[in-house]
A and B are shown apart, each in its own frame.
Chain A
Amino acid sequence: ETGVTQTPRHLVMGMTNKKSLKCEQHLGHNAMYWYKQSAKKPLELMFVYSLEERVENNSVPSRFSPECPNSSHLFLHLHTLQPEDSALYLCASSQETGPIGAFFGQGTRLTVV
């Protein structure tokens, strides 16, 4: 149990679908992140939320829309995705001050068909 929970674990969606990925952290952290892991590529940071405000958007296409309603929850809303968006999407959280290091969820394996 890492303290960061992602649902669903697997998702298959068509290019015209709308779906959402959910992340919860029970560690009392005040920063949350979405990462994308594609095959044979480094983990790519997508979005950073600090104290529920988006502080970073790493040139992510608008078909990915994050939402952070409170410090414990983070969503990634997906719409009109492309097959190349198929990847493992990882949520992470950390404490802004103090020891550095992010705790990751188990990820959502997304397949776009």
Chain B
Amino acid sequence: DQQVKQNSPSLSVQEGRISILNCDYTNSMFDYFLWYKKYPAEGPTFLISISSIKDKNEDGRFTVFLNKSAKHLSLHIVPSQPGDSAVYFCAASATNFGNEKLTFGTGTRLTIIP
């Protein structure tokens, strides 16, 4: 049973336009959400995160939106650039007294078309 779902395995967007990557989760205990970016032959790198006490977090061209009632989050990239072409993983954790454990989605491959 996948607790974090990225239903779009791939997405193509024209350069300069907005890229929207979606993620759904099922575990209501999740209270912290992260997006990771992965280039081929490299490990995932942290991109942006959001706590469940917020509904939006912005960092430059990247904005993450959280809709707790729908158990849905999305990553917006605007404007999209060729270097944004990568696989994007959504991850979630339920913080407690100790280690956080990240549960990942299967990833969405974003291709930016020049």
- Number of B residues whose C-beta is below 8 Å from A? 26
- The proximity string for B residues 89-107 relative to A, scoring 1 for CB distances below 8 Å and 0 otherwise, is 1010101001111111111
Is the CB–CB distance between B43 and A50 below 8 Å? no
Q: B29 an interface residue at 8 Å Cβ cutoff?
A: no
| A4 to B45 alpha-carbon distance, docked (Å) | 11
Is the CB–CB distance between B46 and A101 below 8 Å? yes
Contacts of A105 in B (CB 8 A): 43
Q: B62 an interface residue at 8 Å Cβ cutoff?
A: no
Partner of B93, one of A90, A96, A100, A104: A100
Contacts of A4 in B (CB 8 A): 43
Is the CB–CB distance between A101 and B49 below 8 Å? yes
Is the CB–CB distance between B95 and A42 below 8 Å? no
Contacts of B46 in A (CB 8 A): 101-103
A58 and chain B: residue at smallest CB distance:
B101
Contacts of A92 in B (CB 8 A): 43
Q: A15 an interface residue at 8 Å Cβ cutoff?
A: no
B107 and chain A: residue at smallest CB distance:
A42
Q: Which range contains the number of A residues in contact with the other chain?
A: 20 to 34
Is the CB–CB distance between B49 and A100 below 8 Å? yes
Partner of B106, one of A2, A6, A40, A50: A40
Partner of B43, one of A45, A48, A101, A106: A106
Output the least CB separation between B59 and chain A (Å).
Answer: 13
Most buried by A among B34, B89, B93, B101: B101
B101 and chain A: residue at smallest CB distance:
A45
For residues 16 through 50 of chain A, which have their beta carbon under 8 Å from a beta carbon of chain B? 31, 40-43, 45, 48, 50
Is the CB–CB distance between B43 and A42 below 8 Å? no
Is the CB–CB distance between B101 and A48 below 8 Å? yes
Interface residues of A (CB under 8 A from B): 2, 4, 6, 31, 40-43, 45, 48, 50, 55-56, 90, 92, 94, 96, 99-107
